[in-house]
Amino acid sequence: MFKEIVFTPNEFAALAKIDKSLVPAIEGQGFIKTHRKRIGNVDRKVISLEEVQDFFKMIREFDTAEHAAKKASEMGTGAEMAGTAAIVNEAIAEATTHFAPRLSQKTQMFYNVKGGTGKSTLTAQFVMMASMLGYRILAVDLDGQGHLTVNLDILDAHERPTIYDVLINDLPIDQAVMNVAPGLDLIPANLSLCNIEIPLNNKTRREYRLSEALAKIADQYDLIIADTNPAASILNGSMLVASDRVNVVCATNPLSFHGMSLVMATIEEMQREFKRALDVKIIPNMYDNREVISQEVLGELRSQFSEFCATSVVNRSADLNEATKRRTTVWDVSSKGIASQDIVSLTHELLI
Ligand SMILES: Nc1ncnc2c1ncn2[C@@H]1O[C@H](COP(=O)(O)OP(=O)(O)OP(=O)(O)O)[C@@H](O)[C@H]1O
Ligand SMILES: [Mg+2]
């Protein structure tokens, strides 16, 4: 389960893009804390999710010069300690370049009218990875199938309020929000959401209700990320109104590619209708470099939609299925695997 994830010092170093030999010095300077945890038969040094999140929050506010001056004055002329502080400062300054606060697309949705392209999987993996990096996140499940909800380990969603209650029954939105892990909140979904279209259609300002509701709690979060249902529904239209960016997840197969012109046309039409300028990113998913057809579709995506296509590609990997099964991040399944690398690179791209 994601909320119980812990990191070995090496995993932490890889995530922070810091040389692993510096971890003890970083700990010595008080920037992270390790504790001992029994894993199997061995006692291991680990770092908790909250400690990792705090580290990334800290480096986003880190000012190397100010920190160095403070350390120097604390230590007087203790040359050895000052030397370590300088090395740590340098490493953290380097890490800061990877994790600078550049969030410009605060509200994002994962979308495709075609089903089964990997929207829910990538939404869940993105919110967990961004949460590991210390961002405060609200995940919103807008699909009655509730796959994002399940991916985030909530199995009793049928008993919980959803966005249906907010949009149709005027439930205050904060009462539909639940916490699923440190720094990660969720508005869950259940089957009742499948019946929202007709009552929503009858509401005044129907497409604006969702963005107005989200606006009430937006300042509590760095990111608001929605998974949507595979349709051109009013609910999805409402999320387009609320979003800064649409992430279109496209499987690298011919049918998924065929549907792309329709998806892009739908998005364009909505932008016109609601007078919104949306950032659009196409994310190629389930790529298999051994398949000629996969290579061809990726090539076509990149040439036909060059201004929208993400640099990151998510390869087909059993780790993603395993992560779904274990209701955690792929990082937890195999931090060195190709799927983890893909999700890390996608997360960095979507955070800009
Ligand atoms: N890169 C990948 N490699 C392997 N399997 C993947 C990958 N991405 C998604 N899957 C698997 O594909 C299946 C469909 O994924 P998912 O449910 O995320 O799609 P979706 O677009 O949300 O579907 P729907 O339209 O029904 O909401 C799942 O079993 C998921 O584990
Ligand atoms: Mg889905």
Edge-first strand listing for the sheet containing 107-111: 178-181, 184-187, 137-142, 223-228, 107-111, 245-251, 279-285
Q: Are residues 192 and 263 in the same domain?
A: yes
CA 105 – CA 224 distance, rounded (Å): 9
Instruction: Give the distance (Å) from ligand 2 centre to CA of residue 43.
Output: 39
Instruction: Give the distance (Å) from ligand 2 centre to CA of residue 153.
Output: 15
Q: Are residues 31 and 170 in the same domain?
A: no
In DSSP notation, 232-301 reads --HHHHHHHHH-SEEEEEEESSHHHHHHHHHHHHHHHHHHHHTT---EEEEEEESB-TT-HHHHHHHHHH
Mean per-residue pLDDT of the chain: 92
Provide the pLDDT for residue 134.
Answer: 94
Q: Which residues contact 275 (CB under 8 A, 6 or more apart)?
A: none
Report residue 216 as tokens.
Answer: 């009430």
* Boundaries of domain holding 40: 2-98
Q: Are residues 312 and 241 in the same domain?
A: yes
Residue 283 Cβ inside 6 Å of ligand 1? The answer reads: no
Instruction: Give the distance (Å) from ligand 2 centre to CA of residue 99.
Output: 29
Atom of ligand 1 nearest to the CA of 285: 1
The confidence band for 128, taking pLDDT boundaries of 50, 70 and 90, is: very high
Q: Are residues 208 and 284 in the same domain?
A: yes
Q: Are residues 137 and 195 in the same domain?
A: yes
Bridge partners (DSSP) of residue 191 are: none
Over 80: is that where the pLDDT of 250 sits? yes
Q: Are residues 130 and 278 in the same domain?
A: yes
* Entry pTM: 0.94
Q: Residues 111-126: what's their mean pLDDT?
A: 96
- Asked if 201 contacts 173 with a C-beta cutoff of 8 angstroms, the reply is no
CA 75 – CA 97 distance, rounded (Å): 27
Instruction: Give the distance (Å) from ligand 1 centre to CA of residue 319.
Output: 12
Instruction: Give the distance (Å) from ligand 2 centre to CA of residue 183.
Output: 23
Q: Are residues 142 and 11 in the same domain?
A: no
Provide the pLDDT for residue 93.
Answer: 78
Which residue's alpha carbon is nearest to atom 25 within ligand 1? 115
Over 70: is that where the pLDDT of 32 sits? yes
CA 344 – CA 192 distance, rounded (Å): 34
Domain count, the chain: 2
Find the CATH number of the domain harbouring 66: 1.10.1660
Provide the pLDDT for residue 28.
Answer: 85
- Strand, coil or helix: what is 332? helix
Percent of the chain with pLDDT over 90: 74
Residue 120 Cβ inside 6 Å of ligand 1? The answer reads: yes
Residue 236 Cβ inside 6 Å of ligand 1? The answer reads: no
Q: Kindly tell me the burial class for residue 302, based on how many C-beta atoms sit within 10 Å of its own C-beta (0-12, 13-18, 19 or more).
A: middle
Q: Residues 162-178: what's their mean pLDDT?
A: 97
Q: Are residues 77 and 141 in the same domain?
A: no
Atom of ligand 1 nearest to the CA of 339: 1
Q: Residues 224-247: what's their mean pLDDT?
A: 95
**Residue 69: what residue type?**
A
The confidence band for 97, taking pLDDT boundaries of 50, 70 and 90, is: confident
Percent of the chain with pLDDT over 70: 93
Report residue 183 as tokens.
Answer: 């720094």
**Residue 298: what residue type?**
L
Q: Final residue of a domain: which of 98, 120, 139?
A: 98
Q: Final residue of a domain: which of 98, 131, 156?
A: 98
Q: What is the pLDDT of residues 35-92, one digit of tens each?
A: 888 888 888 899 999 999 999 998 888 766 666 666 666 665 555 666 677 777 777 8
Which residue's alpha carbon is nearest to atom 23 within ligand 1? 116
Q: Are residues 266 and 145 in the same domain?
A: yes
Q: Final residue of a domain: which of 98, 121, 142?
A: 98
Over 80: is that where the pLDDT of 166 sits? yes
Mutate-to-test residue for ligand 1 from 120, 148, 329, highest number of ligand atoms within 8 A of CB: 120
Q: Are residues 130 and 81 in the same domain?
A: no
Q: Are residues 87 and 120 in the same domain?
A: no
Mutate-to-test residue for ligand 1 from 119, 121, 143, 338, highest number of ligand atoms within 8 A of CB: 121
Instruction: Give the distance (Å) from ligand 1 centre to CA of residue 77.
Output: 58
- Asked if 73 contacts 64 with a C-beta cutoff of 8 angstroms, the reply is no
Q: Residues 294-310: what's their mean pLDDT?
A: 96
Find the CATH number of the domain harbouring 342: 3.40.50.300
Q: Looking at 177-181, 202-206, 308-312, which range is the least confident one?
A: 202-206
Provide the pLDDT for residue 31.
Answer: 87
Atom of ligand 1 nearest to the CA of 123: 18
What's the first-to-final CA gap in the chain, in angstroms? 28
